[in-house]
Structure 1
Amino acid sequence: MRWIKIAVFLLFLLGIVYAISMIFVPENKNFTVEKEINYPVEKVFPQFSNLQNFTLWNTFFSDNKNMSIEFFTPYEGKGSSLAYVDHKDEDISGDLFIRYVNINKTLKLQLYEGKNNTPYLIDLKFVPLGEKTKIIWFIQTPKQPYLKRSLNLISEDVWLETIDKSMVNLAHLLSNKIEKDNLRENLKFDTLLVENQDSQILLGINVSAKNTKDALFKNIVVNHNKVLNYAKMDLGKKEDEYGEPILLTTPEYFKEKEVSYFYGVPLPKKEPISDNNFTFRTLNASKNYVIFYRGTYASRVKSIQQLVNQARKDSLRSGTLQEIFLEEPNTDAQVVLKLSLPVYK
């Protein structure tokens, strides 16, 4: 009985010491983190201002396989947001908002954790240094209740570790992107080529849309986002784990009033999918006539006709047309496509 009284007294004493020590701990904390990355600001900034890009390299999101993320339009810039939750630990949840954007210069974000009504304030400043970029993180933690102020003593270390690991991920991601960009700079546009294509497995969605300039492209953008969100969020695929998005349709679909097409991304193999809207489709190995095209989406028709006419001239049957988007379809005024048509005797 005596030992119990002593233990209770010691706990009470420790509680008093802890409560008194909290007087010297601020209710919130401000700190600054500076990092440099060996890529120009125009390459770096979109990885922050687009939250879908942001979650690919930020380890808080990318390292948690149990985390589900929902994005809300607009997907980029001021007003974009996301909500996240850990399915195995629902205490790990929250919302992230972009509140202010000054392109290639400044971003202001707010992060709400759980049911906390006071957000983290995250201001990001981007300083161009030629082919490098300095990123300055100004972080203000939420105000903590008196007896929880000790959390402010460890918050900076947690943020520093996350930022350090995330910047390594970002450098790796940009390295892959720039390598792809360099390859594209050497492409021969508007020249008919012959290619042997290996078989591929595509994850995607079957779609019907009106074949007008605005309606069709807007429909493609919507389904592009659906497919990539499912691959990245539901299947947990990183950017280097899937290929360039492909639209499959009949070669002369541009003559129809309504278009049926399949939009998907290549994956290494089939795997279980829980959403009946998505399906797998196999592209068999084939010999293809190919044209790399850059311009307005509407003007691609001339290049498609060139592929079809060449197949007829060579007395070959043609298969399903593939429109491979080498750059993300954001605007119909400027697209970069690989138009590929399988041909057979």
Structure 2
Amino acid sequence: MRWFKFGVIIILAIGGIYAFAMSFVSENKDFIIEKEISFPVDKVFPQFNNLQNFISWSAFLENKKEMSFQFYSPYKGQGSSMSYQNKKEKDLKGDLFIRYENSLKTLKFQLFEGKQHTPYLIDLKFIPINGKTKIIWYIHTPRQPFLKRSLNLISEDFWTENVNKSMVSLEKVLSNKIDKEFQRENIKYDSVFVQKQDSQLLLGINVSTKNSKDALFNNIVINHNKVINYVEIDMGKKEDEYGEPILITEADNFKDKEVSYFYGIPVSKKSGVSDNNFSFRMLNSSTNYVIFYKGSYTNRINSIQQLLTKAKRDTMRIGDLQQTFIEEPTKDDDVILKLSLPVFK
């Protein structure tokens, strides 16, 4: 009994000391983090005001394989939002909102974590400096109840560490994007040339659809989004961890009323696939006749016929046509395609 009383006294003493210490800790905290990134503001800003871009490099949402995400219209800029939840630990969830946008200059976020009714307020300021961008993070933490105020003692370290990780990841993403843009600027269209292609492993989906003008391309856009979401969200791949999407189909099936195709994204290795709609496909190394095309998807047929004509003239046998989307397919834009036709004697 004496030891029990002694234990109670110790616990009360510790509790009293903790309560006394917490009386000197504020209920919330404000701090500023400044970072500089080696890219112009017009490249950096879209990585923040589009939340689907944001989650691809943000260190605040690690272990993306275990997370499910939902995005709400509008999908970028003021008024856009997203929710996230851990698939295994249901209490690990939150909602992120963009409350204000001054294009290329300022963004204001609100982040609600778990069951908290008071959000983090995250204001971002973007300052262009000689082709680079300075990003200033203004963080206001939510009000903490008296006995949880100790969290404010470590919150700044937590945010600083994750901002630093995020900026390293963002540098990689943007570097990959800039390299691709440089390559696109130097593309020569409508000229057939020969190219050696290394083997590639694709993860994608098999599809059959009508071959009418709008139905085919709309179907491609839908399945592109399915594959991208599965690779990025379910498999946790970042943008610099996979290649440009490739559609594989018979070279002359543009004449048919119905088209079957495989739409996939190059990945480095096989891993477990939890959705039976998705599968891996290996593209073997080959010699290809290649032509770049820019315009409406329907009008790509003339470029395909150029490849088929050259193969016939050279008395070459052909494999399935590979259509690499240099720009992601969207309903409102023309496509930029690399059309590759494997040939052999």
Task: Indicate the residue corresponding to 1:55 in structure 2.
Answer: 55
C-alpha distance after superposition, 1:207-262 (max 9, x if no partner): 23343444333322221121122122222323333221101122234334443221
Equivalence map 1:1-345=2 (5 Å):
1-62=1-62, 64=63, 67-74=66-73, 75-87=75-87, 89-345=89-345
Structure 2 gap segments, 5+ residues each: none
Distance 2:211 2:77 in 1: 30
The verdict on how the C-alpha distance between 1:138 and 1:181 changes in structure 2, with shifts beyond 3 A counting, is same
Q: Secondary structure at the match of 2:196?
A: strand
For residues 254 and 109 of structure 1, the distance between their equivalents in structure 2, rounded to whole angstroms, comes to: 47
Task: Among all aligned residue pairs of Structure 1 and Structure 2, give the percentage whose two residues are the same amino acid.
Answer: 62
Letter in 2 for 1:72: F
Q: Which amino acid letter does the alignment assign opposite residue 337 of structure 1?
A: L
**Between Structure 1 and Structure 2, how many residues are aligned?**
344
Deviation at 1:133, TM superposition (A): 0.8
CA contact (8 A) 1:118 1:143 kept: yes
1:181-220 Cα offsets, whole Å, 9 max, x none, are 2233222222111112222221101123343444333322
Partners of 2:199 and 2:285 within 8 A in 1 = yes
RMSD value, Cα: 2.4
Residue type matched to 2:70 in 1? F
Question: TM-score normalized by structure 2?
Answer: 0.89
Q: State whether residues 217 and 332 of structure 1, in contact with CA within 8 Å, keep that contact through their aligned partners in structure 2.
A: no
1:150 aligned counterpart, secondary structure: helix
Q: Distance in 2 between matches of 1:332 and 1:212?
A: 17
Deviation at 1:152, TM superposition (A): 1.8
User: 1:263–1:319: structure 2 CA closer, same or farther, 3 Å change rule?
Assistant: same
In 2, the alpha carbon distance for the partners of 1:42 and 1:213 equals: 35
Cα shift at 1:336: 2.1
For 1:73 and 1:211, locate their aligned partners in 2 and report how far apart those are by CA, in whole Å. Answer: 31
Partners of 2:262 and 2:103 lie apart in 1 by 35
- Given that 2:66 and 2:234 are in contact with CA atoms closer than 8 Å, whether structure 1 keeps it comes out as no
Runs of 4+ in 1 over 6 A off after TM superposition: none
Distance 2:283 2:271 in 1: 16
Gaps of 5+ in 1: none
TM-score by length of 1: 0.89
Deviations 1:146-203 (A, max 9, x none): 2222222221111011101211121122222222322332222221111122222211
Aligned letter for 2:47? Answer: Q
- Do the aligned partners of residues 31 and 104 (structure 1) sit closer, same or farther apart at CA in structure 2, a change above 3 Å counting? same
Are 1:297 and 1:332, in contact at CA under 8 Å, matched by a contact in 2?
A: no
- Secondary structure in 2 aligned to 1:149? helix
Tell me which amino acid in the other structure corresponds to 2:106. T
Instruction: Work out whether residues 64 and 233 of structure 2, in 8 Å CA contact, stay in contact via their aligned partners in 1.
Output: no
